Amino acid sequence: MEGLEQVITQHKIEIGRGAKVVVDWLTSNFEWLFDGITYGLRVPIEGTVDLLLAIPSLAFVGICAAIAFLLQRSWKLVAFVILGLLLILNLGLWKDMVETVVLILYATFVSLSIGIPIGIICSRRPWLYRLLSPILDMMQTIPTFVYLVPTLIFFGLGLVPGIIATVIFAVPAPIRLTYLGISQVPTALVEAGESFGCTRWQLLWRVKLPAALPTIMAGVNQCIMLSLSMVVIAALVGAGGLGRPVVRSLGQANVPLGVESGLAIVIVAIILDRLLKRRATQRAGAGQV
């Protein structure tokens, strides 16, 4: 027995070193790609941040309130948006808030443009989904810090590794819910589509996607919330935003700053969630087929 244990302990399988070799190989061979991604993401993100910061903050509050009313027709939500954003302005976290919103929007955009097509492909090939499913589980359970290290090596410090880490964490939601939504489209609707001579594309665009839209939108919402929960982690690698004061308050044991920036994150989360919920009247019809 002891001999066996010795054999096991003395011949360590070099998983970690293997991973490092892969990372090194990727760094030296695909530097151009990573640099391209970094540049391609940084320029529009920083541009958007500058653009939004150029708007006077009170006007920005007004625009957000108008969007809230147009999307949801609810005065309660409009009041919440105005008060919440004014509070963030008052706390001096305005610039951080804008950075966070932009970060989330880009992370969500990237996640959706990867996740929804993959979800659609999976719904056509269930074996692919069975293959992907454990990988998606892994992406959401591996502690973020573990993949943050190679991400840093590939993309350097700043916004971009923050977004990449966020996308890794958030992309399973749209993949799963798109797949789920499309596979749950009632057969009756698909057959109705087929019986009127839909091609495969028409079936996707005219029947399956619209029928799955409520579920896909739930995926979008989840994706945004997951991105938001990565704000603090992203700040660790220098992404900026509301995570930065949180990280600073942690380092300085600064309770007031921690509470204030935490409150600001919560306000942004609630606003984004309520903005993107389906309206109650729309939801009434969605359940029936």
User: Among 253, 246, 251, which residue's Cα sits nearest to residue 228?
Assistant: 246
Task: Single out the residue of 34, 36, 12 nearest to residue 23, CA to CA.
Answer: 34
Residue 204 CB, nearest distance to another protein (Å)? Answer: 12
- Interface of this chain with another protein, residues 146 to 205, rule: CB under 8 A: 188-189, 191-199, 202
Which of 75, 196 has the CB closer to another protein?
196
Residue 120 CB, nearest approach to another protein (Å):
18
280 binds another protein (CB under 8 A): no
d(CA 81, CA 62): 9
Contact status, residue 147 vs residue 168, Cβ threshold 8 Å: yes
- Is residue 126 at the binding interface for another protein, with CB under 8 A as the rule? no
Q: Which residues, 48 to 107, sit near another protein by CB under 8 A? A: none
Burial 141-150 (b: 16+ CB within 10 A, else e): eeebeebbeb
How would you label 266-283 residue by residue, b for 16+ Cβ within 10 Å and e otherwise? Answer: ebbbebbebbbbbeeeee
Query: Is residue 210 within the footprint of another protein (CB under 8 A)?
Result: yes
Give yes or no for residue 213 binding another protein (CB under 8 A).
Answer: yes
Q: Which stretch binds another protein (CB under 8 A): 45-53, 93-101, 120-128, 208-216?
A: 208-216
Residue 40 vs 210, nearer CB to another protein = 210
Under rule CB under 8 A, residue 281 binds another protein: no
Alpha-carbon torsion angle 85, 90, 94, 97, nearest 10: -50
Task: Give the shortest CB-189-to-another protein separation in angstroms.
Answer: 6
How many whole angstroms separate alpha carbon 158 and alpha carbon 74? Answer: 38
Nearer to another protein, 185 or 264 (CB): 185
DSSP secondary structure letters along 187-235: HHHHHHHHHTT--HHHIIIIIIHHHHHHHHHHHHHHHHHHHHHTHHHHH
Should residue 217 be labelled a site residue for another protein when binding is judged by CB under 8 A?
Answer: no
Q: How far is the CB of 128 from another protein (least distance, A)?
A: 21
Enumerate binding residues for another protein (CB under 8 A): 188-189, 191-199, 202, 206-207, 210-211, 213, 284-286, 288-289
